[in-house]
Amino acid sequence: MKKIQISPSILSADFSQLSSEIKKLENGGADMIHVDVMDGHFVPNLTLGPPIIKALRSHTKLPFDVHLMISPVHKYIKNFSDAGADIITIHPETTDSLIDSINHIKDLGKKAGVSLNPKTEISVVEKYLEKINLVLIMSVNPGFGGQKFIPNVIPKIKELSRIKKDKNLNFDIEVDGGINFENSKSVIEAGANILVSGTTIFKENSGDIKKNIEILKSI
Ligand code: DX5
Ligand code: ZN
């Protein structure tokens, strides 16, 4: 089994001090930084774009795990790559050609991820699993932090994990949305190796980031 990694979502950080929030995450043992990009169109919320990612790039050595919830996504991929994204994850619904967008991300030298909404089937991504670096399973409907985990994504994580083993593939399985100390164990046991978390990491134990990351990693 791969080592469990934590990708804290800065959606729950203090946006007026993002550089120090990112330092705190780095010092607290985060493995990467999850950046939720929302367009007010594919999802009903608006967040941030390439200029902020670029401004933050020099403030941490951790990889930027950029989750694009924007449509159409293809024409903006290079902007996020140039800004300093290391992993670029897209939703299949936001591009005319998923394979072209995956190839574009990889041609830019970045890791390519595909994200599946709770209702999006694994079959949408199945034929690209050899090519991509990561599948991001959404355990809430994307758009907002602080939502409740949808437990029926657990069988989906198990199914993806089974396909990965059967085909002897190496992509990461990342799970995003409503992860807390109660459900993290079952998510990891189902086969996830990267957990995204905003609310739990920034708010539990009076915001003790290091402690919260340690608890999420332990199963
Ligand atoms: C939802 C985002 C998630 C979410 C994580 O659209 O993709 O990254 O904000 O935050 P919590 O852990 O609060 O659900
Ligand atoms: Zn996300």
How far apart CA 143 and CA 187 sit, in angstroms, is: 21
Q: Which CATH number is associated with domain 5-218?
A: 3.20.20.70
Cβ 168 vs Cβ 202: under 8 Å:
no
Q: Report pLDDT digits (tens) over 57-75.
A: 999 999 999 999 999 999 9
Residue bearing the CA closest to ligand 1, atom 6: 142
Task: Name the pLDDT band for 219 (thresholds 50, 70, 90).
Answer: confident
In this prediction, residue 212 carries a pLDDT of 98
Residue bearing the CA closest to ligand 1, atom 4: 145
Task: Name the pLDDT band for 190 (thresholds 50, 70, 90).
Answer: very high
In this prediction, residue 2 carries a pLDDT of 84
Task: Name the pLDDT band for 3 (thresholds 50, 70, 90).
Answer: very high
Q: Report pLDDT digits (tens) over 4-43.
A: 999 999 999 999 999 999 999 999 999 999 999 999 999 9
Q: Give the helix ranges, DSSP H, for the chain.
A: 18-27, 50-57, 77-83, 98-107, 123-126, 154-166, 184-190, 199-203, 209-217
In this prediction, residue 10 carries a pLDDT of 98
Residue 57 CA to ligand 2 centre (angstroms): 18
Nearest ligand to the CA atom of 139: 1
Mutate to test the pocket of ligand 1, among 11, 138, 153 (most ligand atoms within 8 A of CB): 11
Task: Name the pLDDT band for 188 (thresholds 50, 70, 90).
Answer: very high
How far apart CA 88 and CA 173 sit, in angstroms, is: 14
**What is the average pLDDT value for the chain, to the nearest integer?**
98
Cβ 197 vs Cβ 217: under 8 Å:
no
Residue 146 CA to ligand 1 centre (angstroms): 7
Cβ 135 vs Cβ 173: under 8 Å:
yes
Residue 34 CA to ligand 1 centre (angstroms): 9
Residue 206 CA to ligand 2 centre (angstroms): 23
Q: Report pLDDT digits (tens) over 93-148.
A: 999 999 999 999 999 999 999 999 999 999 999 999 999 999 999 999 999 999 99
**pLDDT above 80 for 1:** no
- Position 126: which residue type? E
> Ligand 1 — pocket residues by CB below 6 A?
9, 11-12, 34, 36, 67, 140, 142-143, 145-147, 176-179, 196-200
In 10 A of CB 52, how many CB atoms?
Answer: 16
Rounded to an integer, the average pLDDT of 198-202 is 98
Phi then psi for 196, rounded to 5 degrees?
A: -95, 140
Phi then psi for 4, rounded to 5 degrees?
A: -75, 130
